[in-house]
Structure formats: structure tokens, C-alpha cells
């Protein structure tokens, strides 16, 4: 983002908030207190929960969970999604794949960053679950909520009232018109890829990776029109780890998630049975290899 656009976005946010309630730089005091609406402050993002929710640490020692105001990203599990939320999209598995993509993008952009958060007086400073509710601006001036909408990784959360609502709706119309992200009808990672591909890697498990092995997982999707026989296919990474996929076929549009730890296999869910994490949080590369030894898909992060 160029400096003039960054300055414009910050000015737009500040102007809207000041017109509604007046601006203040008072940051509040005690941990867990309700910060009055209309204020702004800085905090460091310590962890990403999903695409629109993060954990924060403030310089005065306060901590908190924040949901980004005015947006809604898909949930990372099929059962967590509602087919009525994203216009025209009813495939819950498809929604969860884009939920993982949104979470990965937010993690990449926000984790470890000191951000500025703006409390909109029209919305209040907390949501119904007690989480902080605010607009998040990155150090380069990027409005992260708007960025998610523009990339098709989030929708405008219309039940909320907030100063930038009309602007966000305009950005959403642009994203839908451009068929960006979730509006593309194509699963993440499948654009230009072959029939079967690794579409996401959930490498950073919640909490201690070693204590939550099954929250490390690889998602594979058949984006083609015919079943794919995955017998004798395997996955490996840059550290020479290798796992052979279970024998069987993957139907068009179906996904399989392969978790690192132990568990009982069920429809679409499989387990490597390992006792240590294998997906490096600071960067790695995973490849999918067919029975002939041909690399058919790869996924790199970090």
C-alpha cells in the first residue's frame, strides 16, 4: 500500500470516529475493564484465533481477545459454518477451507505486530461475548478488516453498526464482482492446480503444539470432476518426513484432513499417529506425491 492510501485510510477512520463521538487517547487502566468507546490505543498481536479474532497484549500489562469490527470470516470447521451467511454459498466444506485461508492470512499479517486499534462509538468497545471490538490498523496503515473483505476472505457483518459500514459494503461489492477469494467458486490453492491438491496446512496448533498434535493437520481436496484413487500416494516435507495416504478414492469436491497425532479414522479425517509435531511454525514445505513418484501438489509457508 502506498503512503498516500495509508494516510487516507487512517484519516477516514479517525474522521468518522471523531465526528460521531470525539477522539481521545486515554487508554483505560485496569485489566479486564471496559474501555470507553471512541478511543484508540496500540497493542501487540500475540496469537490468531481465526481470521477475524486475535489475542492482544498491551504495554500496561493488560491482555484481551479482540474481534475485528464489521467483518466476518468463515469458520475453520464445516460444522461451524452457516450456509446462509455468505450469499450464494451453501457448501460448508468449501466455507471451512476459506476459513482456514483467512486465518492463515491474518496470522501472517498480524502475529507479533504492534497494531493500532480504534473503538467505534457507534458499535461500542465490546461484543456480546465480552471480546474487544475494534478496527485494526497495521503499522503500514493497512486496515486489516477492509483488506480481508477486498481479498474475498471475509464478508461485511451487516448486523453491526459502525462508521465504515457503507465503505466496507462497497469494497465487498468489488470483491464479489472480481470473484475474489471465497466468491471465486474455487477452493483456495486450486486455481491453476491439478485435480488433487494440498489446499491448506494448519501448522500452528492452539497452545503448545506438542500437547495438541491433532490441531496440526494437512487438508487435501479433489477439485476435479472424477474420483481420484490415492492408493500408495504419500506426503513428505522438507525434513524428510513421509506419510502414506490411506488406500481409497477421493470423490470430486471432497476433502481429507490428515492430523499429526493419534485418532480413529472417520469420513474425511485421518491420523498419522505421531507423538511429536512435524509442521514447523516458522516455515516448511509439504508435497503430495502420487504412486508414480510425481509431485502433484505442494504447499509452502514461512
Q: Which pLDDT value is given to residue 294?
A: 86
Do 217 and 290 lie in one domain? The reply is yes
- Do the domain assignments include residue 36? yes
pLDDT surpasses 90 at 281: no
**Alpha-carbon distance values, 245 to 66, 103, 227, 261 (Å):** 38, 26, 15, 15
- Do the domain assignments include residue 264? yes
- 3-state secondary structure (DSSP) of residue 209: helix
Do 13 and 131 lie in one domain? The reply is yes
Calculated CA dihedral for residues 222, 228, 233, 234, nearest 10 degrees: 10
Cell numbers for 251, please give them.
470423490
Do 170 and 231 lie in one domain? The reply is no
Closest CA to 61 of 40, 87, 18, 32: 32
Cell numbers for 295, please give them.
509431485
- Do the domain assignments include residue 189? no
CA distance 7 to 10: 5
Cell numbers for 253, please give them.
469436491
pLDDT surpasses 50 at 279: yes
Number of domains composing the chain: 2
Q: Which pLDDT value is given to residue 20?
A: 40
Could you report the per-residue pLDDT of 84-136, keeping only the tens digit for each?
Answer: 899 889 888 889 889 989 998 999 999 999 999 999 988 988 898 999 999 99
Do 59 and 35 lie in one domain? The reply is yes
Asked whether the beta carbons of 30 and 14 are under 8 A apart, the reply is no
Do 150 and 243 lie in one domain? The reply is no
- Do the domain assignments include residue 265? yes
Do 222 and 180 lie in one domain? The reply is no
Do 205 and 169 lie in one domain? The reply is no
**What is the CATH number for 257?**
2.60.40.1260
Could you report the per-residue pLDDT of 127-179, keeping only the tens digit for each?
Answer: 989 999 999 999 998 999 999 999 999 999 999 999 899 999 999 999 999 98
Contacts of 32 (CB under 8 A, 6+ apart): 62
Q: What is the DSSP letter of 58?
A: -
CB atoms within 10 A of CB 236: 16
Got the DSSP string for 37-89?
TTBEEEEEEEEEEETTEEEEE-TTS-EEEEEETTEEPPPSSGGG--TTTSTT-
Do 170 and 248 lie in one domain? The reply is no
**Which structural domain, as residue segments, surrounds residue 136?**
3-184
Do 209 and 179 lie in one domain? The reply is no
- Do the domain assignments include residue 59? yes
Closest CA to 278 of 201, 203, 200, 198: 203
**What is the CATH number for 62?**
2.40.50.90
Could you report the per-residue pLDDT of 215-272, keeping only the tens digit for each?
Answer: 999 999 888 878 889 999 999 987 778 899 998 899 888 899 999 999 999 989 999 9
Asked whether the beta carbons of 47 and 64 are under 8 A apart, the reply is no
Amino acid at each position: 500500500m502506498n503512503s498516500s492510501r495509508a494516510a487516507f485510510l487512517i484519516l477516514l477512520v479517525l474522521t468518522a470516529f471523531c465526528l460521531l463521538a470525539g477522539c481521545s487517547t486515554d487508554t483505560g487502566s485496569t485489566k479486564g475493564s471496559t474501555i470507553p468507546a471512541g478511543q484508540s490505543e496500540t497493542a501487540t498481536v500475540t496469537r490468531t484465533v481465526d481470521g477475524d479474532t486475535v489475542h492482544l497484549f498491551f504495554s500496561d500489562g493488560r491482555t484481551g481477545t479482540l474481534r475485528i469490527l464489521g467483518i466476518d470470516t468463515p469458520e475453520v470447521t464445516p460444522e461451524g459454518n452457516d450456509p446462509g451467511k455468505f450469499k450464494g454459498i451453501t457448501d460448508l466444506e468449501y466455507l471451512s477451507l476459506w476459513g482456514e485461508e483467512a486465518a492463515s492470512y491474518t496470522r501472517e499479517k498480524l502475529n507479533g505486530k504492534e497494531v493500532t486499534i480504534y473503538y467505534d462509538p457507534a458499535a461500542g468497545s465490546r461484543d456480546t461475548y465480552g471480546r474487544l471490538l475494534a478496527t485494526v490498523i497495521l503499522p503500514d496503515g493497512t486496515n486489516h478488516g477492509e483488506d480481508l473483505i477486498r481479498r474475498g476472505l471475509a464478508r461485511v457483518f451487516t448486523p453491526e453498526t459502525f462508521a465504515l459500514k457503507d465503505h466496507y459494503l462497497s469494497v465487498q461489492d468489488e470483491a464479489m464482482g472480481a470473484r475474489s477469494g471465497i466468491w471465486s467458486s474455487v477452493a483456495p490453492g486450486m486455481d491453476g492446480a491439478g485435480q488433487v491438491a494440498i489446499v491448506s496446512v494448519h501448522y500452528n496448533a492452539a497452545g503448545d503444539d506438542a500437547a495438541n498434535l491433532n490441531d496440526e493437520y494437512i487438508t487435501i481436496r479433489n477439485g476435479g470432476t472424477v474420483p481420484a484413487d490415492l492408493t500408495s500416494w504419500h506426503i513428505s516435507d522438507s525434513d524428510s518426513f513421509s506419510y502414506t495416504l490411506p488406500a481409497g478414492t477421493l470423490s470430486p469436491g471432497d476433502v481429507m484432513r490428515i492430523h499429526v497425532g493419534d485418532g480413529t479414522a472417520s469420513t474425511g479425517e485421518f491420523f498419522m499417529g505421531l507423538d511429536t509435531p512435524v509442521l514447523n511454525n516458522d516455515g516448511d514445505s509439504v508435497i503430495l506425491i502420487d504412486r508414480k513418484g510425481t509431485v502433484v501438489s505442494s504447499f509452502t509457508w514461512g
